[in-house]
């Protein structure tokens, strides 16, 4: 089944962006990691990134309309975008929030997620492997739905 892996602002700059925090993997590397995990897990993974809140919200609406599960790294939108949260609240399939770093171990403003309360669950702090864990979670959630 199809899964959207959506990424918010500045994640297109992975590899050069604060490598001490986010690691050396580029966004293309992350996308390849997700597609490889998808092949193993028999998921058709569609990886996207945008710096634009409106575009991200359109993708979330598309997922709701097409009943697609979503793995989402909302990046900084995590901490303040009520518009994104309201879009996600319309979800019709599992939603796994992911973070590369562990926001709970960082600055105070990263301790709040306005998205977490409408997600199925959150995976954070495992580097880019957070995405692989999130895709595994999607497989489990779809299997639970099926039986
Ligand atoms: C992030 C954590 C956020 O606090 C930050 O704004 C990001 C990336 C992560 O993946 O660790 O852009 O979502």
Protein residues whose CB sits closer than 6 Å to any atom of ligand 1: 10, 73, 75-76, 78, 99-101, 103, 110
Q: What is the pTM of this model?
A: 0.97
Question: Count of domains in the chain?
Answer: 1
Q: Known binder of ligand: residue 48?
A: no
Q: Known binder of ligand: residue 46?
A: no
Whether 131 sits among the annotated catalytic residues: the reply is: no
Per-residue model confidence as pLDDT tens digits over 90-128: 999 999 999 999 999 999 999 999 999 999 999 999 999
Pairing outcome for strands 44-49 and 2-7? parallel
Residue for token digits 């996308």? 31
CATH (domain of 48): 3.40.50.9100
Q: Provide the residue range defining the domain that includes 106.
A: 2-146
Residue 132 C-alpha to ligand 1 middle, in angstroms? 17
Cβ neighbours of residue 142 closer than 8 Å, sequence gap 6 or more: 1, 69, 94
Calculate ∠ Cα 51-88-58, nearest 5°.
50
Distance CA 123, CA 100 (A): 9
Whether 61 sits among the annotated catalytic residues: the reply is: no
Residue 48 C-alpha to ligand 1 middle, in angstroms? 16
pLDDT value for 132: 98
The answer to whether the complex's ipTM is over 0.85 is yes
Per-residue model confidence as pLDDT tens digits over 9-68: 999 999 999 899 999 999 999 999 999 999 999 999 999 999 999 999 999 999 999 999
């Amino acid at each position: 089944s199809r899964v959207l892996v959506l990424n918010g602002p500045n994640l297109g700059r992975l590899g050069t962006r604060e490598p001490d925090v986010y690691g050396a993997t580029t966004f293309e590397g992350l996308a390849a990691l997700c597609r490889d995990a998808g092949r193993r897990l028999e998921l058709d993974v569609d990886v996207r990134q945008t710096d634009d809140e409106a575009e991200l919200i359109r993708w979330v609406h598309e997922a709701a309309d097409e009943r697609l599960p979503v793995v989402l790294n909302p990046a900084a939108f995590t901490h303040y975008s009520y518009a994104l949260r309201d879009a996600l609240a319309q979800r019709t399939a599992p939603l796994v929030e992911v973070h590369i770093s562990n926001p709970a171990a960082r600055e105070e403003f990263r301790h709040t997620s306005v998205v977490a309360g409408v997600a199925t669950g959150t995976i954070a702090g495992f580097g880019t492997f957070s995405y692989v864990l999130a895709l595994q979670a999607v497989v489990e959630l779809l299997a639970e739905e099926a039986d």
